[in-house]
Structure 1
Amino acid sequence: MNEFAQMLLWIPGLLMALTIHEYAHGRMAYELGDPTAARAGRLTLNPISHLDPVGTIALFLFHIGWAKPVPINPYFFRKPRRDMILVSVAGPGANFVLAIFAGLILKIFTKFGMAHGHALNIILYTMDINVILGMFNLIPVPPLDGSKILFSIANLRNSTVFLLERFGPMILLAIIVLGSLSRFNILWLFISPALILFRAIFL
């Protein structure tokens, strides 16, 4: 299979992964009292509302990507630190649930010979992409979800958070680019154990 054809098989899983991730953030925030995402029209499973052009291209090029962040206003939360953690965990958590669902379908289809070729590849890529996206977003570097979890748990000063959020995206971009150009890819050291585990369970 050539690289372009393989990329086409990624698209269904990619759209589902990015959409469910951002929807989960918005839905959790809404349930905790924040209507910001709903007012912005982001409580939808329409992928177009959530796709970020740069993040989508990066996922194809580097196998690491992101969607357009759902707007969250923690001032609506009754317990801001706790609720921010729940909102931040919701996105990666939704990806892992979708990965498990895809893995179960893959296992059933493989066992009973219910699908072959491209259909199996689409399901496999859906599982893989959701694992990758879920793990990637748990990395504690702004603007990823892991940083919001860390900031909420550590209760850092606003000045420290501001500094980290200012330089975090540049640090993250440097890690992605350097990792793709060298043999030592620190991102894959973090992500690959989960991917290996899912494949061991469902393949």
Structure 2
Amino acid sequence: MIAEIAAVALAAILAITLHEAAHGYAARALGDDTAWLLGRVSLNPLRHVDPVGTILLPGLLLVTQLLTIGRVEAMFGWAKPVPVDIWRLRDPRWGMVLVAAAGPAINFALAIGFGLLAHLATATVGVLPDDLLDWLLRFIALSMLYNVILACFNLLPIPPLDGGRILVGILPAPAARAVASLERFGLFIVIGLVFLVPYLVPGFDPLRMLMQSVALPVLEAIFVLTGHGGAQGGSPGGVM
């Protein structure tokens, strides 16, 4: 159980930390040093911790799944958003699009990177102890899964998610203002879709639909791209 917790925690922390750091690095490169001055352009996970989204909720999901099914199959959470001052970007409109896209982009890149790393891990058969190799492959598989889920979830077109901010940047001004006006309610909309709607409407689970219709096909494509065949038959670490 300790090994499973370590693999889950490390995979989730890396995915979330690098997602937020990517926003900060992109903003600085595009002219806004707000996050840099606040010390948020960092690979230190402690700088991005949100007490509820990074600790409480993932911890609850982790413990619940370990106690019920003995392993972790799904994880959900968020980090403290990196502050971005859109008006300090050299091109506020397209700069914000690029800053928002940087988070999901790094998650997709990480998923591909871990897929390639799996080949190196499997090449150590007979060199590394079997228990260590099994843990490493489990960590790699979880990292691929969590990065894809985090990227796909953040691309939902709901402000303040990255997809919402990208949508605001590419829509004509009247439509962009209408979408942007949802940001004050965005967190409540997201929480409602994830937790409230499945409870109120049995059989309708938007997050599961996102997983099955978007995230898993993307993960399948990454497995093929990185030389593992289909996700069903070739996933390292048996995450699927």
Taking structure 2 as the reference length, the TM-score comes to 0.75
Q: 1:197 aligns with which of 221, 224, 235?
A: 221
1:174 aligns with 2:186: no
Q: 2:40 corresponds to which residue?
A: 42
Distance 1:156 1:168 in 2: 19
Q: 1:75 aligns with which of 81, 87, 105?
A: 87
Percentage of pairs with the same residue = 40
138-147 or 100-109: bigger deviation: 100-109
Q: 1:187 corresponds to which residue?
A: 207
Confirm or deny: 8 A CA contact 1:143 1:168 kept in the other structure.
yes
Confirm or deny: 8 A CA contact 1:37 1:70 kept in the other structure.
yes
- The answer for unaligned runs of 5 or more in structure 2 is 62-73, 229-234, 236-240
Alignment map for 1:1-203 (pairs within 5 Å):
6-56=4-54, 57-59=56-58, 61=61, 63-110=75-122, 113=125, 116-157=133-174, 160-161=178-179, 163-178=181-196, 181=199, 182-190=202-210, 191-200=215-224, 201=226, 202=228, 203=235
Deviations 1:2-35 (A, max 9, x none): 5x75333211111111111111100011001101
Bigger radius of gyration, 1 or 2? 2
Distance 1:130 1:91 in 2: 10
Distance 1:172 1:138 in 2: 12
RMSD: 2.3
Shift of 1:184: 3.3
Distance 2:197 2:82 in 1: 27
Distance 2:5 2:218 in 1: 22
Change in Cα spacing, 1:73 to 1:88, as seen in structure 2 (3 Å) is: same
Taking structure 1 as the reference length, the TM-score comes to 0.87
Matched to 1:71, the amino acid is P
Confirm or deny: 8 A CA contact 1:143 1:165 kept in the other structure.
yes
Change in Cα spacing, 1:130 to 1:42, as seen in structure 2 (3 Å) is: same
Q: How many aligned positions are there? A: 201
- The answer for unaligned runs of 5 or more in structure 1 is none
Distance 1:79 1:64 in 2: 33
